Structure 1
Amino acid sequence: MGVTRIVEGVHRSVLGTLGLPGAAAPGRTRGITGMVYRSIQGVTLGVDAALQAALRRLEPWLERAQGAPDESAEAERDAVLAALNGVLGDRLAADDNPLALPMALRQHGRALELAALHAQGAATGRVLLLIHGLCMNDRQWLRSGHDHGAHLARTLGYTPVYLRYNTGLHISVNGRALAQHLEALLASWPVPVQELGILAHSMGGLVARSAVWHATQTGQRWPAQLRHLIFLGTPHHGAPLARAGPWVDLLLASTPYSRPFTRLGHLRSAGISDLRYGHVLDADWQGRDRLARSPDTRTPVPLPDGVACHAVAATLAAQRSPLAERLVGDGLVPLRSALGAHDDPARCLAFAPADQYVVARRGHLDLLSDAAVARQLVRWLTPPGERDPATATAER
């Protein structure tokens, strides 16, 4: 069965979320799609051989789904590719496999077209970049009918731009590429840019921090326009589960799109290994065995100066407690890690109390759709002169 069953499991999981039927056996597809998977299940000559063979046979289906008139088919394809890249993206990129996702700026599930945006009068001076987390993609900001980017566009006049990237690559590699993309984006934005805001979920927050660091080191101009940097459940200091091993299995099992990849066992992409401690620099991983047990040797990277930085964290517990903060968290990220707290003062991220927000009885993915989180984002991003005094103080 090998990788073929894994990929088919992702496919079936996505169909299930869309309310579409699958085969009688759990994790199996039916019809023509099922026949495609059946035809390649004989590949059992090791992980690498099975992976390459399965992906080669899967490519035609993915290509047919691209640009299909059925929106759900495209969403399904994107979800499969995002999950694949999260677990195997570094291998795909190293092999120049066409399934390796290139970094891209997007809107409405399509490549961003600045000329069309300008022609439609849809470009404002307030740009909001949204960065997804591991094994996810730009379409998955829409959860339970809510999209933070669309909500902030309606309420505060932001123009949302969504990043899509290969989450299996090292975080610092993605950070460097993002810095370059933002430099080019703001230089060609069709109207004068008043401010840039970044809203990042999970791993996306580490990519954002890495991008700011790279841009500052190389003298890029866009950090001067960055006004807000908001983290949703970002593992700034990693998580104990990541160091123990089961982290990736829990993370992948948290979404139907990526759940079947837990069958890959100990296979870990570079991006996943970076989540053990929250690596954001090349120096954090270069010259080291990324899969070996090792202490935290990161170079501390503080929050950027002159930027309003905000942290949103969730806990599955009913209320905050020392145990919940260190262990429970949102099911994947401990509360202290999401808030940037660390026993070593040199590693603590200086989020002001007013820039921290915690929601109880919520999990990691709930941060994408929680109504209280949406209200808090509006509070933080509303310019001071426009804030309603009655709602200026957030619930704690």
Structure 2
Amino acid sequence: MNKPAMPPATASAATALRAEDVRGALRLSHEALGGLIDLVEAMHAGIADRVLGRASAADPEAGPRRTRGLTGLVYRGVRGISGGVGSATELVLGSLARQLLPASSAAAPNARREALLAALNGVLGDHLADSGNPLAIPMRFRRQGQVLPLQAEALRERLAAQASTPRLLVLLHGLCMNDLQWQAAGHEDHGQVLARELGYTPVHLHYNSGLGIARNGRLLAERLQTLCEAWPQPLERLVLLGHSMGGLVARSAIHHAAQRRGEGDASLSWPQRLDDLVCLGSPHLGAPLERAGHGLERLLAALPYAAPLARLGQIRSAGITDLRLGHITEAASDAQGRRHWDRVPLPGNTRCYAVAASLGPAPSSLKSRLLGDGLVPVASALGRHRDPARSLDFAPERQAVVYRTGHLELLSSPEVLDLLRGWLR
């Protein structure tokens, strides 16, 4: 499997560390210890119940199983001690870190730190956000790693030196990645090339890819409205370019804005001016690797002594879970949290493009048929389903497959860049 491109670090590992990193890591380690204690107790309880004839099917909705009597008292004591020590450690070391290390606003972006933080958010981002962990990435627009202000005057000042244009290109990264990784080693960012050759002003979205896709879509819909209203000059062209999950987040944002309009709320008007949506390797019909993880989780849950281990299979974010079938709406879950198919058509007033990649040399090759780009099958990236009702209607002239190319290589592929030049001219 390809590894995310990691640009050269802009600072040493020591200077890359920030105060909130220490506090966030401490909190996460304490939560992990608590989870481990729960897991051990659940396995202990399961074995004891079977030995004593109290075996019963595990109820995933009931939370972790607990031991009884003196054993339960011991586990509660261990849990209480670990919680107390964890809180004290976070208080002391967190205070020390604030004095010795820079805060995020005072530190320059460091590529290695950003890559590690993006990966962590991709796997645990919903938990980080919901628990208020400072390691959670807030959704922001950035250029060259620097956050863009969304107040009109401040935005004009920031973009003045960069000669902003009426052509706005917003680039959305994929799962476990960040905006800096659009620039692969030895290759220009697609956005930089389109800026130089076609007059676009590229702006990168930086977001927590572990949040549910619909949740990120809702946030993006609001942020894009603010960005468009604060843009220094009237927009002549608006383009969204999403890689992998980024394409799904873009579609979700469009859908959310359309829902709001249907409810009589016209405050999100940017989709009316959205000219182009380009998806590079986006799993519109889902990703088989996530489906395999879900299957393993269900298998473990069915085994008596291994049932508590199924909780380990659940240690994947809502964002990852949404990739199972390419969910982009919150309505894709019922009251019990069970997922079902949600088909959201492509926006009718926007030119929509899809690019798929294949590790194989040709459509008929075994690699192309079985592996796609290594993560996303060709059919999923092009929105093609054997049931026409589930397919997405990308026009034939607005879809393409690039061969001998992996999922992450879409970010540096000259062939992809040529497609973008032609489509976005």
Q: Which interval holds the TM-score relative to the shorter structure?
A: 0.7 to 0.9
Aligned to 2:223: 181
**Corresponding residue number in structure 2 for 1:45:** 33
Does structure 2 conserve the Cα–Cα contact (< 8 Å) formed by 1:102 and 1:166?
A: yes
Amino acid in the other structure paired with 1:350: D
Cα deviation 1:55-94 (Å, max 9, x = unaligned)? 95699499648467776xx222211211111111111111
Paired letter, 1:142: Q
**TM-score normalized with structure 1 length:** 0.75
Change (3 A) 1:147 1:286: farther
In the alignment, the residues of structure 1 paired with residue 245 and residue 135 of structure 2 have an alpha-carbon distance, to the nearest angstrom, of 21
Q: Distance in 2 between matches of 1:325 and 1:286?
A: 35
RMSD, aligned CA: 3.7
The reply on whether 1:333 has 2:381 as its aligned counterpart is: no
Give the aligned partner of residue 345 of structure 1: 388
C-alpha deviation, 1:20, in angstroms: 10
| Distance change (3 Å), C-alpha of 1:109 and 1:286 | farther
Identify the residue that residue 84 of structure 1 maps to in structure 2: 120
> Which residue is 2:178 aligned to?
137
Q: How does 1:82-231 map to 2 (within 5 A)?
A: 82-113=118-149, 114-120=155-161, 122-144=163-185, 145-219=187-261, 220-231=268-279
Instruction: Kindly state the Cα deviation for residue 121 of structure 1 after the two structures are TM-superposed.
Output: 6.0
Distance 2:376 2:86 in 1: 35
TM-score w.r.t. length of structure 2? 0.71
Number of aligned residue pairs: give it.
Answer: 338
| Change beyond 3 A, Cα 1:370–1:118 | closer
Cα distance in 1 for partners of 2:405, 2:379 equals 15
User: Structure 1's 131 and 15: CA in aligned 2 closer, same or farther, altered over 3 A?
Assistant: closer
Query: In the alignment, does 2:322 pair up with 1:274?
Result: yes
Evaluate the alpha carbon distance shift between residue 335 and residue 63 of structure 1 in structure 2; reply closer, same or farther with a 3 A threshold.
farther
Gap change, CA 1:48 and 1:286, over 3 Å in 2? farther
SS of aligned partner of 1:313 = strand
Q: Counterparts of 2:183 and 2:117 in 1: how far apart (Å)?
A: 17
Instruction: Give the equivalent residue in structure 1 for 2:293.
Output: 245
Tell me how far 1:21 sits from its aligned partner: 11
Judging changes above 3 Å, is the alpha-carbon distance between structure 1 residues 230 and 288 closer, same or farther for their aligned structure 2 residues?
farther
Q: How does 1:357-368 map to 2 (within 5 A)?
A: 357-368=400-411
The change in CA–CA distance for 1:241 and 1:153 in structure 2 (over 3 A counts) is: same
What is the CA-CA distance between 1:14 and the residue it aligns to?
9.4
Pick closer, same or farther for the CA change 1:42–1:161 going to 2, 3 Å.
closer
SS in 2 for 1:245: helix
Contiguous gaps of at least 5 residues in structure 1? 1-9, 23-28, 249-263, 383-396
In structure 2, distance between residues paired with 1:343 and 1:58? 54
Work out which of the two has the higher radius of gyration on C-alpha atoms and give 1 or 2.
Answer: 2
Task: Work out whether 1:375 is the aligned partner of 2:418.
Answer: yes
Q: Do the aligned residues in 2 keep the contact of 1:279 with 1:285 (CA within 8 Å)?
A: no
1:174-207 alpha-carbon deviations (Å, 9 max, x no partner)? 0011001111111121100111100000001110
Partner of 2:74: none
Letter in 2 for 1:301: V
| 2: CA distance, partners of 1:359 / 1:246 | 29
Matched-pair contact (CA < 8 Å) for 1:324–1:335? no
Q: How far apart in 2 are the matches of 1:380 and 1:278?
A: 25
Contact 2:170 2:241 in 1 (8 A): yes
**Pairs within 5 Å for 1:282-321:** 282-289=330-337, 297-321=340-364
Matched letter for residue 380 of structure 2: S
